[in-house]
Structure 1
C-alpha cells in the first residue's frame, strides 16, 4: 500500500489534455500518450493506487497564429482550460486524486483553479509547488510572444484576461503566499520585477546550489498540516536538459536526477499530495521516450517509491 494512503485518496484519475495551444513550440500535444507508453498506469498501480484512465479531453486545434492584443490563441486556451477545470473538479468531487497529463503549462490554470475552488468549498488550505525552469509570471505587457504557457501563475494570482483569471468563479484563485516555485532559472527582466513586487517565494537554482535541494524543500514544505491540500505542478523542463531533452524550452543548469528524486521523495514524505500536473513533455524533441520514462520514474517517487533507507509512513 502507498505511504500516502492515510492522507490522500487511493483512487487516482488520469486526465489527458493533448494540446500545445499555449506554447511556442509544437509537440506537447503528444505528451499524454508518451506518458502512457512510458507505463504511468502500471507504475502507479504498483504503488497501491487504483488508477482510472479517463482518456483525453477534446478541444480546439492549435491555429498557430500570431498574438492578438497580447495573447496567442486566447479563445483556444480558454476552451482547453475550461475542459480541464471541469474534469479536475469532477474527480475531486468524487474523491479521486486528479493527475493532469499535458499538454503545455497553460493548462495549469484550469487544473489549479479547480483545486483552489475545491479547497475553498472544503475549508482546506492549499499549497502549490511549481516545479519549473520558468516563473511563468508574465503578462501580455511583459512578454512579446503572447504565449500563455508563460503566464499561468500570474493569471492564477489575478493578473490577466478575465476569461482566465476568473476560471474558478473567484479571482484571484491563488494568493502569492500559497505558491512555492522550485528550480527556476529563466526569468525575463520585467517578469523578475513583477515576481518581487508580488512577493512570490522562489527557490531558484542559485538557492539550490548554495543551500541544497533538501533545505529548499524543507522551506517549501514548511507549515503543511492535516488541513492542507498539496498540489504539484510538474513542468518537465524543471529537470536539467542533459537528462530530460524532450521539452520545448530547455534551460541548462536544472536539477540533477538525484536532486529531482529527493524533491519528489520529500513531497511524498509529507503525505499531503492531493493533485498533480505533468506538463510540457514534448516527444517530438525527445530521444526514444527518455524524458517520458524519467517523468514516470519521478512520479513513482511522488507516490512512495523508496530506497532501502526510507521506511513506510506509519498508519494514523
Structure 2
C-alpha cells in the first residue's frame, strides 16, 4: 500500500481578517502549508529564528483496539479550527509556523501509519523545527517519540530524552493480538529503549488510581516509571508537583511532552474517548506546571491527544487543546 494513502496534504487555514499589518494578524494569516510527500521543503530557518510545524495524526484505530469511543480521527481538523483565529502575539520575522498536513490511519492499518508518522517527524527535526502534533488517539505517542529517539541516534547524541505524559492513564499496557493501541505507547517505548540501549526516563502527571489496574502500577514500578497522581492537582500540592517536574527536567537533556485531554475533568473536556468526572482542572496550578516545562528550553516535541469532536460540547475540549498550543507558540 502506497504511503500516499496515509497522508493528507495541508489545506489553507481560514478565519477572521481584521487587517494585514502585524498588529491585526491572526494565525491563519501566518501559516505556511508544506506538502511533505510532494517533496516540498521546509523554509530554511535563519539565525535567531524559530520554527514550529503542525502535523496531524488522524487516527483513532488505537482507541478502537483499546475498546474506547472512536471519533478522535477528526481531532486534528478541530484543533486547527480552534487555533485559526488566535491573534499573533509574536514577532512574525522571528517565528515561522508551518502546517505539514496529516498522517492518516487508513483502513485500520496503524503500523504503517506509525512508520510514516515517525518519518515525517524525523524530517521536521532534521529541518530544525519543533514538531507540534495534533491528535488523534494516544497511539500518537509511539510514532512521535520514536522519531525523537531516531533523531538523537542519527546525530550520535548521547543526550537523554525524557518522556512526560500528562494523563489519567499510564499507557503501559502490553500489546495484545491486534497489536499496539492507544494504551500501549509507553510500554512500546520502554521496549524500544532496550533495543537502543537508552534509559527509559518516564514521568506521568495526573494518574488516576481508579483508571489503572494493579498490573499497570506493577509494570510502572518494574520500569522505574515516575508518577504523580491527580490528587496533587486536586489538593493544590505545588511542592510535590514542582519537585517532581524540576527533578525530571534536571535529569533530561530533551523532553517529549504529550497531553492526553482525558486528564481533565469532564466539565472542561467532554470530547474525549474516556471522560473523567474527577479529572484535574486546567487552572492556575496546572498552568504553572505546564509553563515550567515549556520554559525549560528542553522541549523536543509536543502533542495533544484524544480530542474526540464527536462528543465535544460547544467545542470546549477543542478550545482547551488549542489554548495549550497557544501557550507553546507564545
Q: Distance in 1 between matches of 2:238 and 2:87?
A: 25
**Partner in structure 2 of residue 134 of structure 1:** 169
Matched pairs, number: 271
Task: Give the whole-Å Cα distance in 2 for the aligned partners of 1:245 and 1:174.
Answer: 37
1:257 is aligned to 2:282: yes
Instruction: Describe the SS at the equivalent of 2:274.
Output: coil
Q: Give the gaps of 5 or more residues in structure 1.
A: 1-7, 63-75, 159-164, 305-316
User: CA–CA distance in 2 between the matches of 1:172 and 1:206?
Assistant: 35
Deviates more, 1:248-257 or 1:116-125: 116-125
2:207 equivalent to 1:184: yes
Q: Where does residue 15 of structure 1 map in the other structure? A: 55
SS of 1:54 mapped into structure 2 = strand
- Within 5 Å, which residues of 2 pair with 1:1-316? 10-23=50-63, 24-39=68-83, 43=86, 46-48=89-91, 49-62=95-108, 76-122=109-155, 123=157, 124-140=159-175, 148-158=181-191, 165=192, 171=195, 175-176=199-200, 178-185=201-208, 186-209=211-234, 212-213=237-238, 215-222=240-247, 224=249, 228-258=253-283, 259-304=285-330
In structure 2, C-alpha distance between the alignment counterparts of 1:172 and 1:204, rounded to whole Å: 30
The structure-2 alpha-carbon separation of the partners of 1:42 and 1:11, relative to structure 1 and needing over 3 Å to count, comes to farther
Partner of 1:66: none
> TM-score normalized by structure 1?
0.77
The CA deviation at 1:171 is 2.3
Q: Secondary structure of the residue that 1:241 maps to in structure 2?
A: coil
SS in 1 for 2:133: strand
Pick closer, same or farther for the CA change 1:50–1:43 going to 2, 3 Å. farther
Alpha-carbon contact 2:138-2:305 (below 8 Å) kept: yes
- Cα distance between partner residues in 2 of 1:231 and 1:9: 21
Moved over 6 A (4+): 144-147
Q: Following TM superposition, by how much is the alpha carbon of 1:303 offset from its aligned partner in structure 2, in angstroms?
A: 3.8
Hey, what's the Cα distance between the residues in 2 that align with 1:58 and 1:156?
Answer: 21
Q: For the aligned residues, what is the CA RMSD?
A: 2.7
Contact 1:261 1:298 in 2 (8 A): no
Write the deviation string for residues 237-260 of structure 1: whole angstroms up to 9, x where unpaired.
121211111101112322212133
**Secondary structure at 2:131's aligned position in 1?**
strand
Displacement of 1:180 after TM fit? Answer: 0.9
Residues 205 and 272 of structure 1: CA distance in aligned 2, closer, same or farther (over 3 Å): same
How far 1:191 moved relative to its partner? 1.4
Contact kept, 8 Å, 1:17 with 1:29, in 2: the verdict is yes
Q: After the TM superposition, which of the residue ranges 121-130 and 131-140 deviates more from structure 2?
A: 121-130
Counterpart contact for 1:246–1:284, Cα < 8 Å = yes
Larger radius of gyration: 2
Structure 2 residue runs without a partner (length 5+): 1-47
Which piece of structure 1 moves more, 252-261 or 22-31?
252-261
Following TM superposition, by how much is the alpha carbon of 1:87 offset from its aligned partner in structure 2, in angstroms?
A: 0.7
Aligned to 2:31: none
TM-score, with normalisation over the residues of structure 2?
A: 0.74
Report 1 or 2 for greater relative contact order, CA contacts < 8 Å, sequence distance ≥ 6: 1
